[in-house]
Amino acid sequence: MGVPVRYGMNPHQSATVTGGPAILGGEPSLINYLDALNAYALVREADEAGGLPAAASFKHVSPAGAALSGSVDDVAVETWRTPGVAADSLISAYVRARDADPKSSFGDVVALSRPVDAETADFLRTVICDAVIAPGYEEGAVDVLRAKKGGRFLIFEGGSDWRPPVRERREVLGAVIEQDRDAADLAAALPAGALDDAHRRDALLGMATARYTQSNSVVLVRDGAAVGIGAGQQNRVDCVRLAGAKARVWWLRRHPFVRELPTPEGMRRQDRLNWQIRFAGAEMTRSQQVEFAGLFGDEAAARYADPAWREEWAAKLDDVTLVSDGFLPFRDNVDHAAEFGVSAIVEPGGSTRSDEVAAAASEHGITRVETGLRLFHH
């Protein structure tokens, strides 16, 4: 017998859920469940493959960011006000995941691969997120989180021994569909010796992320963090371009011009961050440019109109690993990837034009690895 949830896909739809993770706080909707379950599967696989705490920031059944624990750079420290975060900590994984695409992560579902400690719970209390799922919670962490959003914050407990069933079943418009769960061994699919240890770790994180991203999808990973995810596109090259655009904005946010933008009195953190993203990516409408000049001054407005500094800085982005959930059908995917600092491509292979794709990778000095493993997710 299903348990009623707050609502289904939309507020005018009723819904029930049978099974699933324990609910320790809040009242979830159907989409909250879908985000939490997919995100939790992602971080558990990423942790197992990388051997480090993993985190994901999920929105609308695709990750906005995913990362393993690691060093939190100065820009992320400034943005999220997290000085002194240890590189091996759970909180570092989530800060790195959220910082990849913070515009999309606003109001996300947080997934963590290790039990939530006091430091992580205290950080989650300060950011705009709707839910968290983790295998457990250390003493006092649930109480901290239950106080968030007036008690409406969603707290899921996945359990440390959680394992999804070997068969999946869904009903779509009257048709009942059943299949084996995608449990292919990611590490086994990645040929041994094809990449060094650091790039292999990035590739495995990218593969785990692609497995739980709406297809078509492309994931760009750098230093243990997915810094650009192109999800749900109808063609492969748009996935590459979207992932690359997000990675480029992440990188441009590290330019001194972006970091030095002042904080107008009374401006909230997310509002300033949104202005930084618009400024970095040259994403403003004409009316926003007028507002920007009034908030940040004529010098900043002049810099916004000058593309030279962006191109110079963007050219320094390097050492990026691209993972594609399906084969790359044409060389234009590789040509675009090269403009976003990609040095390694991991894809299933098998296109009728794979020879052209391989030749393009060789021309750009990109290592290309075929896995033979497609990772579509719908």
336 has catalytic annotation: no
Tell me how many degrees the CA angle 33-22-185 measures, rounded to the nearest 5.
Answer: 65
Establish whether 12 is a catalytic residue: no
Q: What is the spatial distance between Cα 227 and Cα 250, in angstroms, rounded to a whole number?
A: 7
Q: How far is residue 364's CA from residue 342's CA, in Å, rounded to a whole number?
A: 9
Count CA atoms within 13 Å of residue 180 on its CB side. Answer: 3
Give the residue from 190, 157, 200, 227 showing the smallest Cα distance to 375.
190
Single out the catalytic residue among 60, 103, 149, 364: 60
pLDDT tens, position by position, 20-74: 899 999 999 999 999 999 999 999 999 999 999 999 999 999 999 999 999 999 9
Looking up tokens 């480090």 gives 52
Strand ranges in 248-330 using DSSP code E only, listed in sequence order: 320-324
Q: What does residue 371 show for φ and ψ, rounded to 5 degrees? A: -105, -20
Could you report the per-residue pLDDT of 241-265, keeping only the tens digit for each? 999 999 999 999 999 999 999 989 9
Q: Judge whether 377 counts as a catalytic residue.
A: no
Neighbours of 1 (CB within 10 A): 4
Q: Which contiguous run of DSSP H or E holds residue 110?
A: strand 108-112
Residue tagged 């993770």 (tokens): 21
- Clarify whether 59 is annotated catalytic: yes
Whether 1 shows a pLDDT value over 70: the answer reads no
Number of H helices, E strands in the chain: 16, 15
Rounded alpha-carbon distances, angstroms, from residue 64 to 58, 286, 306, 333, 376:
6, 27, 29, 21, 17
The one catalytic residue among 32, 148, 199, 216: 216
Distance CA 144, CA 134 (A): 15
Structure tokens at 168: 């999946």
pLDDT at 207 over 80: yes
pLDDT of 161 reads: 83
d(Cα 320, Cα 343) in Å, to the nearest integer? 6
What is the dihedral angle through the alpha carbons of 92, 98, 101, 104, rounded to the nearest 10 degrees?
A: 180
**Is the separation of the CB atoms in 323 and 213 below 8 Å?**
no
Domains present along the chain, CATH in parentheses: 3-180 (3.40.140.20), 184-378 (3.40.140.20)
| Residue 123 pLDDT class (50, 70, 90 cuts) | very high
Distance CA 298, CA 372 (A): 53
307 Cβ contact partners less than 8 Å away, ≥ 6 residues apart: 282
CA distances to 146, 232, 352 from 224, rounded to whole Å, are: 31, 23, 32
Confidence band for 126, pLDDT divided at 50, 70 and 90: very high
In sequence order, what DSSP letters do the residues of 332-372 get, joined into one string? HHHHHHHTTTEEEEEE----TTHHHHHHHHHHTT-EEEE--
Q: Which amino acid is at 131?
A: A
pLDDT at 366: 98
Q: What residue type is 187 in one-letter code?
A: A
- Residues written for the chain: 378
Shortest CA distance to 245 belongs to which of 272, 218, 223? 218
pLDDT at 248: 98
Supply the pLDDT for residue 35: 96
pTM for the predicted model, two decimal places: 0.95
Question: Which segments of the chain are extended strands (E)?
Answer: 3-4, 16-17, 22-25, 54-59, 62-68, 108-112, 129-134, 154-157, 167-172, 175-180, 217-222, 225-231, 320-324, 342-347, 367-370
Residue 19: pLDDT band with limits 50, 70, 90: confident
Active-site residue identified among 59, 246, 336, 377: 59
